[in-house]
Amino acid sequence: MDILFSAIVGDLVSESASFVISKCFQQQPGIDMTLQRLERVVMRVDTVVEEGEGRLITNQGMLRQLKLLRQGMYRGHYILDALRLRAIGEEEENDGGLSLSHSSSALYKFIPAKRLRFSRSTGSGSCNTEAQLFGTNNNIQEELQRLIDTLEDTMAGMNEFLFLLESYRQILRQPYGAYLLLDNCMFGRQMDRQRVLNFLLCSSATPDLAVLPLVGPIRVGKTTLVENVCKDESVRDRFSMILFFPEGCLRDEAVIDLKENNINGLVRHQNCSSQNRLLVIVEIAEDINQGTWRRLKSSITDMTPCGGSKIIITSRSNRIMSLGTTEALQLDYLSQEAYWYFFKSLVFGSTNPDEEPKLAKMAMEIALEQRQCFTSAHIIADILRDNFNARFWRTVLHCVRAYIQTHLHMFEKHPNLRVRVDEPVYYWRMEKSRGYFLISKYHQSDSSEEVPRISMRDILLERGGTLPRGEFEAVAWSSRIPPYYNYTISCKLQEPQLTVGRKKRLHQHEEHLI
């Protein structure tokens, strides 16, 4: 009955949304029917994904199928939201509302689909938004049809998946709202997490030491993923000891001999009631010395002669993939479609974005500016969710744009790309008169460590009284999932340090600086 009710409500929403969009594409007959088909197939994909995520799937092939479905779901929602918000914006323009010339170019320059192009245009003129969204092919209906065909073909091949899904036990969950559920899970890493969990819990077919390489770019979440899995009770029950070698630790050859009493600082968990098995996490920046690697494996084997011990080695370099006894797990940043789905859920919480179209349009523009930064998503979503006001959201959008333009002109680099490599950034604040906010250092600490009293939210919203002079510490964000990291920053109020050449280039943009 619940599924039938959802389908009826979904059809009603689809018809109203399609009507709004079709008004902006009257030159293409049948566009409303095409949009309704797209929305219905996306709803079907939603249902299967939700059911799949509610089961404890261990089969790797099924996990890959679920990941494929999830990507299709994100893509479908992204295209529908982009078209819907574009239609709303054009209606506002036609009704003499707020000019959207700037937002139109920002909104569509990153919209992807299988055959859709990325537009790098940054002009503020009213360019052909259909060409930006669908490349050089102006037949929107044709491109939407391709997307529908892809999703329907994917769903048509899921009969076996749905049949096998019934054999996996359900995961008991509390009835969280969407944003609470997403805020309490590793969004976009469900398949990766299960893959690591399966590797750790399955019995090895050979007595050799099992090794899983985990590869990905800087700040993609390699350590967080591994730490999250290691907090799982089933993992802690299986291994008698979990050791963590942080980046640079293996340069000290003394720690490689695990029989010596010099590993206390490396022990993350100890379970005396478990069989004598070790789980060793090795974190390196690039490659590992072959001699060091052999000595480490030998030391683990000597300590656990009965076997069953395992190693997870993480790196930014593909060179470690050859060290694995199983296929390497490769991580990448979220796609723009997935990031928008995540950001929208965090911002709107239990509120339906369709009920607040103007806010949804601004939220999508803010999301597109973030370059898939998780920390920024949480920080900005937190202040937007507590201030459901169009004027406030518009101010935040202007601040974000000015902040990005400032860094593009100063450093020719997006600020969130600078954050990924720990480079300083001049972050925005709500009031121009309060000056700049320089973030110079980034820290990641365990939940047991004491955190500063000042939060980034206090600084952005001018709360908490007078800020300290000079450099001070602040909490940027505290994760709600294991290992519950606190992300802190070292910062101070400071004007940008511009060179003469940069000053000249920035002169015409000074009125936009925060």
Say whether 394 sits in a helix, a strand or coil: helix
One domain, residues 342 and 287:
no
- Which sign, positive or negative, has the C-alpha torsion 143, 146, 150, 152? positive
Rounded Cα–Cα distance for residues 120 and 112 (Å): 12
What are the φ/ψ torsions at residue 234 (nearest 5 degrees)?
-65, -35
Out of 330, 361, 383, a domain closes at 330
Rounded Cα–Cα distance for residues 514 and 510 (Å): 9
Q: Are 57 and 63 in contact (CB under 8 A)?
A: yes
The predicted structure's pLDDT at residue 91: 64
- What is the CA 513 to chain-centroid distance, rounded? 28
Cα angle, residue 270 at apex, residues 218 and 299 outer, rounded to 5°: 70
Residue 183 lies in a domain: no
Q: Are 344 and 85 in contact (CB under 8 A)?
A: no
Rounded Cα–Cα distance for residues 333 and 318 (Å): 16
The predicted structure's pLDDT at residue 362: 93
Count Cβ atoms within 10 A of the Cβ of residue 137 and give its class: 0-12 exposed, 13-18 middle, 19 or more buried. middle
Q: Are 454 and 474 in contact (CB under 8 A)?
A: yes
pLDDT digit string (tens) for 300-310?
A: 888 887 778 99
Instruction: Say if residue 424 is preceded by a cis peptide, omega within 30 of 0.
Output: no
The predicted structure's pLDDT at residue 205: 57
Q: Are 321 and 328 in contact (CB under 8 A)?
A: yes
One domain, residues 485 and 355:
yes
The predicted structure's pLDDT at residue 27: 47
Residue 184 lies in a domain: no
Cα angle, residue 295 at apex, residues 290 and 299 outer, rounded to 5°: 150
CA atoms within 13 A on the CB side of 499: 5
One domain, residues 35 and 139:
yes
Rounded Cα–Cα distance for residues 306 and 310 (Å): 12
Parent domain of 224: 190-330
Out of 330, 365, 380, a domain closes at 330
Quote the number of domains for the chain: 3
What are the structure tokens assigned to 472, written together?
A: 């001070």
Q: What b/e string do you get for 406-438 counting C-beta neighbours within 10 Å, with b at 16 or more?
A: bbebbbeebbbeebbeeebbbbbbbeeeeebbb
The predicted structure's pLDDT at residue 181: 46
Q: What is the pTM of this model?
A: 0.73
Kindly compute the dihedral angle of the four CA atoms of residues 46, 130, 340, 394, in this order, to the nearest 10 degrees: -130
The predicted structure's pLDDT at residue 15: 42
One domain, residues 261 and 137:
no
All residue ranges of the chain with pLDDT < 50 are 1-22, 25-27, 97-137, 174-181, 433, 500, 503-504, 506-514
Amino acid at the residue 247: E
One domain, residues 256 and 294:
yes
pLDDT digit string (tens) for 433-465?
A: 456 789 988 888 877 788 888 888 888 887 656
One domain, residues 348 and 487:
yes
One domain, residues 281 and 423:
no
Neighbours of 369 (CB within 10 A): 20
